[in-house]
């Protein structure tokens, strides 16, 4: 690497608030700087921590916004170039945008298209998609353009000098199926640092006679809190369960409160939002846990499946094969996860279920201004029901609450559902997975992948900017068999 040419890299995001994307940006900045590159971070807001302000320039127009015009976007493109060159001391070699198609700022796609049209080499790293259950974002972006064709031609620009990066293989495959060239597609999974956990299960001030399982998540709908209550109903004689945080959204908080009330009603050993106050810290709770549980029905990278092993905690819960297949490919085996919790479909009123599915499908397709396929309901039922049994995790809160009350009233009915395994791992097995994760998802490996991608981006010729039809990306996500009453 002695003859490696120093690059000038501009990383662009809406903000630098605490969260996964900010951690990725800061990690990239530290790695690239260590390699000798010049790095500037352009953000709509300053970093929250003074210690992380190095190399950050604030361009307020990058912050969240739902209105604007193509003229404003062109002006922003020029402002970004001016700020970046001033901070780097010369022209940018690579522009690296994070979540540019998420439509948190409707100017982003036009800015990117303008830069690429000027011959700039661009990386678009997609952590999340507006097509994946975020119709409000998608609608905001579409309404920014005067015509549908402008939206179609701008949201996903393509050119030899434009590269896309995803954080998992599923999203990579979706973009490839939609038409992005494999030569311009990269998978850059997040790095997983060590956690500052110093506590141990034997030190916890509660659950002394039982196991303690922590669900380290905010209790939003897609986290499938009802299924956590079901696990507590099944294993409550041996395990106490808890989630770490309550939702911030008032609408989700209402549903969250209903789950807390049901846990009390059914006398289930579940506490929600135990880290909301100051009594217990999040890191103490992690250390006190005997194992980590997840019942989520949708994740992006899947940090919840990997991070616990770093602190010596096995993971139990719902498998998400679209996400965990990446881990399996790297030799990280998690055979104790389950993909479904099946129960007799006749426990549910068929008319109510069909009505709920039809309503969900119509709302989902209408939200994206798409026509509902004729066979949509049949496709959904086929995905959900296997041999007369339906998965608990696809059901909305009213159905889940109904089933929980039914099982509490007659525990003998538990014999009719597929009981998920409570299979924990030995210390040796935990240590084996920890070492694999530390190698595969290390900062060093992340830097290598970033370096490989930048090499290809820097060597790319400059070509005419075209576009990927937006509907082709939307079709990957808006599929009846992928939808769920908890999310759509």
Q: What is the pLDDT of residues 162-210, one digit of tens each?
A: 999 999 999 999 999 999 999 999 999 999 988 889 999 999 999 999 9
Q: Same domain, yes or no, for 224 and 76?
A: no
Q: Same domain, yes or no, for 217 and 293?
A: yes
Question: Is there a domain that residue 387 lies in?
Answer: no
Q: What are the residues whose beta carbons fall under 8 Å from the beta carbon of 279, sequence distance 6 or more?
A: none
Q: Same domain, yes or no, for 265 and 162?
A: no
Question: Is there a domain that residue 343 lies in?
Answer: no
Please give the average per-residue pLDDT across 483-488, as a whole number: 88
Q: Same domain, yes or no, for 206 and 244?
A: yes
Q: Same domain, yes or no, for 15 and 145?
A: yes
Question: Is there a domain that residue 371 lies in?
Answer: no
Q: Same domain, yes or no, for 134 and 25?
A: yes
Q: Same domain, yes or no, for 42 and 110?
A: yes
DSSP letters, 396-428, are -HHHHHHHHHHHHH-GGGGGGS-PPP-----HH
Please give the average per-residue pLDDT across 315-328, as a whole number: 96
Please give the tally of structural domains in the chain: 2
Question: Is there a domain that residue 305 lies in?
Answer: yes
The residues that bridge with 185 in the sheet, in sequence order, are: 164
Q: Same domain, yes or no, for 235 and 311?
A: yes
Expressed as residue numbers, the domain containing 424 is 201-338+420-437
Residue 76 has pLDDT above 70, yes or no: yes
Burial label, 123 (beta-carbon count in 10 A; 0-12, 13-18, 19+): buried
When pLDDT is cut at 50, 70 and 90, the band that residue 137 belongs to is very high
Question: Is there a domain that residue 356 lies in?
Answer: no
Q: Same domain, yes or no, for 133 and 209?
A: no
Residue 52 has pLDDT above 80, yes or no: no
Sign of CA dihedral 204, 208, 213, 214: negative
Question: Is there a domain that residue 324 lies in?
Answer: yes
Q: Quick: pLDDT tens for 470-480.
A: 999 999 999 99
Q: Same domain, yes or no, for 262 and 224?
A: yes
Q: Same domain, yes or no, for 279 and 210?
A: yes
Mean pLDDT of the chain: 94
DSSP class of 107: T
Question: Is there a domain that residue 58 lies in?
Answer: yes
Query: Structure tokens of 429?
Result: 């097995």
Question: Is there a domain that residue 273 lies in?
Answer: yes
Q: How far apart are CA 88 and CA 149, in angstroms?
A: 36
CA angle, 164 as apex, 458 and 76 as ends, to 5°?
80
CATH number (domain holding residue 140): 3.40.50.2000
Q: Same domain, yes or no, for 168 and 208?
A: no
């Amino acid at each position: 690497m002695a003859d490696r040419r120093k690059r000038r890299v501009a990383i662009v995001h809406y903000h630098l608030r605490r969260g996964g994307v900010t951690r990725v940006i800061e990690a990239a900045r530290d790695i690239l700087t260590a390699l000798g590159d010049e790095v500037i971070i352009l953000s709509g807001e300053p970093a929250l921590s003074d210690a992380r302000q190095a190399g950050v320039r604030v361009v307020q127009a990058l912050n969240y916004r739902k209105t604007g015009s193509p003229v404003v976007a062109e002006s922003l493109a020029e402002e970004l170039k001016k700020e970046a060159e001033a901070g780097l001391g010369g022209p940018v070699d690579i522009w690296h945008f994070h979540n540019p198609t998420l439509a948190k700022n409707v100017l982003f796609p036009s800015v990117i298209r303008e830069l690429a049209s000027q011959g700039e080499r661009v990386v678009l790293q997609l952590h999340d998609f507006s097509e994946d259950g975020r119709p409000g974002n998608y609608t905001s972006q579409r309404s920014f353009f005067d015509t549908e064709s402008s939206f179609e031609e701008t949201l996903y620009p393509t050119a030899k000098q434009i590269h896309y990066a995803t954080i998992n293989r599923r999203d990579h495959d979706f973009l490839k199926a939609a038409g992005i060239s494999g030569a311009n597609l990269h998978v850059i999974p997040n790095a997983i640092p060590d956690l500052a956990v110093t506590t141990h299960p034997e030190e916890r001030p509660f659950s002394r006679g039982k196991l303690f399982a922590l669900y380290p998540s905010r209790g939003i709908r897609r986290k499938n809190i009802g299924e956590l209550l079901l696990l507590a109903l099944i294993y409550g004689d041996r395990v106490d369960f808890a989630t770490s945080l309550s939702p911030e959204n008032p609408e989700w908080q209402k549903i969250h409160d209903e789950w807390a009330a049901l846990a009390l009603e059914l006398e289930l050993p579940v506490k929600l939002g135990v880290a909301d106050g100051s009594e217990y810290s999040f890191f103490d709770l992690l250390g006190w846990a005997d194992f980590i549980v997840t019942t989520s029905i949708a994740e992006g990278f899947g940090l919840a499946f990997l991070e616990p092993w770093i602190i010596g905690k096995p993971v139990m819960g719902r498998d998400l094969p679209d996400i965990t297949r990446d881990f399996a490919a790297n030799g990280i085996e998690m055979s104790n996860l389950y993909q479904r919790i099946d129960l007799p479909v006749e426990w549910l009123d068929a008319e109510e279920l069909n009505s709920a599915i039809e309503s969900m499908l119509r709302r989902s397709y209408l939200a994206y201004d798409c026509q509902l396929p004729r066979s949509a309901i049949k496709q959904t039922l086929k995905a959900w029901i296997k041999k007369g049994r339906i998965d608990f995790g696809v059901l909305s809160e009213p159905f889940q609450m109904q089933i929980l009350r039914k099982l509490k009233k007659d525990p003998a009915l538990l014999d009719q559902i597929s009981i998920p395994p409570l299979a924990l791992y030995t210390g040796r097995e935990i240590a084996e997975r920890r070492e694999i994760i530390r190698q595969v998802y290390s900062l060093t490996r992340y830097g290598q992948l970033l370096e490989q991608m930048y090499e290809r981006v820097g060597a790319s010729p400059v070509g005419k900017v075209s576009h990927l039809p937006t509907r082709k990306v939307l079709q990957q996500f808006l599929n009846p068999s992928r939808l769920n009453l908890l999310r759509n």
